[in-house]
Structure 1
Amino acid sequence: MVPVLRAALLAAFIFIGATGCAGAQNLPVHVDPGARDDMIDPVAVPALRFLTTPDFPPFNYTDAAGRLTGFNIDLADAICARLEARCTIQSWPWDRVQDALADNQGDALIAGLDIGGSAGERFDFSRIYLQLPARFVTQRPVFPDFDPQAITGTVAVREGSAHADLAERTLGRAQMAFYPSEFEALNAIASGEADFFFGDAARASFWLNENPDCCAFAGEAYFRPDLFGAGLAVAVPIGLDNVRVAINWALTRLQREGRIDEIYLRWFPVSFY
């Protein structure tokens, strides 16, 4: 879901002028609302069979009641509704879902599949509908003059992630603490075991929504598609152009109509942008 970190990293470029900070932006521009609309015949897609996985919270996962839920699930439903298409969403294990799409078990895969690498050669993709920046999290109060390069405490990261590798290379004054997951790294901030978290902003937002009194984002959002992935898009089998074009058509209109923002704020009331 996250591309392998590229070999060449300049020492501190994420934290200085080339960061691509979001500034005061609270809502992402998920797709280009001014993009040329693809002309489609909605009759060509009377039904859409979405595939997903049950283990990618908060985007697609099975909740405590056994229901498939998440941002991607709501977005898939919205795409079908906008196209007036019959909709099914079927959950597959992560290690089988790509083969299921290739074997015509579904028309589209919405599960955080990496656009690059082998998947990029195996499938076509819709427009990117959500970019995933990195952010710092720390205990409240958060000072407005937060400077990552001044960090001297402990930074919690997910072991093996691009965020962890980059933090090790660039935060020379900090001590790294490695955890199996983002949520465990974030819990270390709440317990005082670590001073800062650096990692996936979407996962952090989901966690902050459950821990609003404890912690908050510090500093700005950092967008590095070459390190953290290009973003989220819907995969479709190569050659299934009517489905890909229809999904792009729906995404453009859902953005213009504010529907994607509604779904985003439902799942991320603590905006990660």
Structure 2
Amino acid sequence: MPVQSVPFAVVLSRPAVRLAGWLVAAALLGLAGPAVAQTPPTHAAPAQAPATKPAPAQAVPAAPAPAAPAPSAQTPTPKAAAQAAPQAVPGFWDPRRRPDRPDLSRLTVIRFLTETDYPPFNFTGPDGNPAGFNVDLARSLCDEIKVTCTIQMRRFETLVDALATNRGDAIIASMAVTPQLRTKVDFTDPYYRAPARFVSRRDNVMPEIRPEYLEGKKVGVIAGTSHEAYLKAMFTDAEIHSYPNDDALRAALRRGEVDFIFGDAISLAFWINGTDSAECCAFSGGPFVESRYFGEGVGIAVRKGNDLLRQSLNWALFRLWEKGRFTDLWLRYFSISPF
């Protein structure tokens, strides 16, 4: 879902296989969008693409914010432009394409593999047990399938080998679907993706961003990343400033050295909502989901040819989404929308 960005030349290596369609209320997000899409498309087939991975967010899972008091004479109604957008929840599931229920009786146990340190998706809880969004999702899938599950935490770079050598049955660790990984594992349908977004200072928020709107504007980005490559390809009239890391990038925006920064929306959402930003900044425009740069989405990996498990997980993912349990889980961990 998370920024230490990586050089674009390395996007297809370790960070490339993880990715930190989105659903606004009940609207479905497709798997790919136009190059400068401001809102998710309704439905489209995924393109093969390199993927980027957001760095672990420096935050713990947050509970949904309490409801705001109703406006009164003492509580002025905020301006429309300042009102928070509805929370968005990822969803790749088309209600018209209900998956068939597989023969679940053939499953006796699912051994999930996940990563050790990638909060809020995967981390070690206070009791020493696996915790995080991916872990809770795995447990919900097991509950839906009604099968015993185990969850083992390993270093990310060892997960594919552990799966191949039968030390686990499925990887649920924010692993991006890429053409390279498809040669080694099979994937379920995507269950989330990490779009890219612009961030500006709060006094310079733009409701929509198009290439022509940023002509002559200073835009910061992490050097060598897919986000930088996207800006150079699509925002040719912007003045692009590259920075070595997240801290330098975000500090440049706080100091006003750049008008916007561009990067992974999930980690930026945590930063905007955290103490490090000092409430300086906010998202401008909508999400960018061009799959050639930002990946096909995040899925659960299973061994090649394990169609029973893959189909069972797809069925269970759809059921969780249909029942609203996926939405409840997402909102428990993400109090500010990256979309």
Bucket of the pairwise TM-score, normalised by the shorter protein: 0.7 to 0.9
1:104 lines up with 2:170 in the alignment? no
* Match for residue 291 of structure 2 among 225, 228, 242: 225
Q: Which residue pairs with 1:126 in the alignment?
A: 188
- The answer to whether 1:177 aligns with 2:238 is no
Matched, 1:256 2:317: no
Match of 1:21 in 2: 38
Match of 1:150 in 2: 213
Q: Could you say what secondary structure the match of 2:299 adopts?
A: coil
CA contact 1:30–1:255 (8 Å) conserved in 2: no
SS in 1 for 2:200: strand
- Which amino acid in structure 2 is aligned with residue 228 of structure 1? F
* Pick aligned residue for 2:309 from 228, 232, 243: 243
Partner of 1:117: 179
Counterpart of 2:336 (choices 247, 270, 273) is 270
- Are residue 88 (structure 1) and residue 153 (structure 2) matched? no
CA distance in 2, matches of 1:2, 1:71: 24
- Report the residue type matching 2:321 in the other structure: Q
**Unaligned stretches of 5+ in structure 1?**
6-15
Instruction: Please tell me whether residue 139 in structure 1 is matched to residue 201 in structure 2.
Output: yes
1:189 partnered with 2:253: yes
When structure 1 is superposed on structure 2, of 163-172 and 76-85 the one drifting more is: 163-172
Pairwise CA distance, 1:169: 3.4
Question: Which moves more between the two structures, 114-123 or 186-195?
Answer: 186-195
How far the C-alpha of 1:82 sits from its partner, in A, is 1.4
Measure the CA separation in 2 of the matches of 1:204 and 1:215.
10
Within 5 Å, which residues of 2 pair with 1:204-219? 204-210=268-274, 211=277, 213-219=279-285
| Alpha carbons of structure 1 residues 17 and 102: separation in structure 2 relative to 1, 3 Å | closer
Q: Higher mean Cα deviation, 186-195 or 259-268?
A: 186-195
SS in 1 for 2:90: coil
Paired AA for residue 124 in structure 1:
D
Higher helix fraction (1 or 2): 1
141-150 vs 104-113, greater mean Cα deviation: 141-150
Picking from 95, 98, 111, the partner of 1:49 is 111
Per the normalisation by structure 1, the TM-score is 0.83
Do the aligned partners of 2:38 and 2:285 also contact (CA within 8 Å) in 1? Answer: no
SS in 2 for 1:27: strand
Residue 229 of structure 1 and its aligned partner are, at CA, apart by: 0.5
Between stretches 79-88 and 52-61, larger displacement belongs to: 52-61
Aligned to 2:138: 76
In structure 1, C-alpha distance between the alignment counterparts of 2:133 and 2:91, rounded to whole Å? 16
Change (3 A) 1:2 1:66: farther
CA RMSD of aligned residues (A): 2.9
Q: Is the contact made by 1:3 and 1:228 (CA closer than 8 Å) also made in structure 2?
A: no
How far off is 1:42 after superposition? Answer: 2.5
The letter for the 2-side match of 1:102 is A
Instruction: For residue 221 of structure 1, report the CA deviation from its aligned partner.
Output: 0.9
Q: Which amino acid aligns with 1:167?
A: L
Q: Which runs of 5+ in 2 are unaligned?
A: 1-9, 17-32, 41-84
Letter in 2 for 1:112: S
Task: Read off the aligned partner of 1:195 and give its amino acid letter.
Answer: D
| Alignment length (residue pairs) | 262
Identity rate, percent? 36
The alpha-carbon distance between structure 1 residues 227 and 50, as it changes in their structure 2 partners (threshold 3 A), is same
Q: 1:143 and 1:2 mapped to 2: Cα distance? A: 30
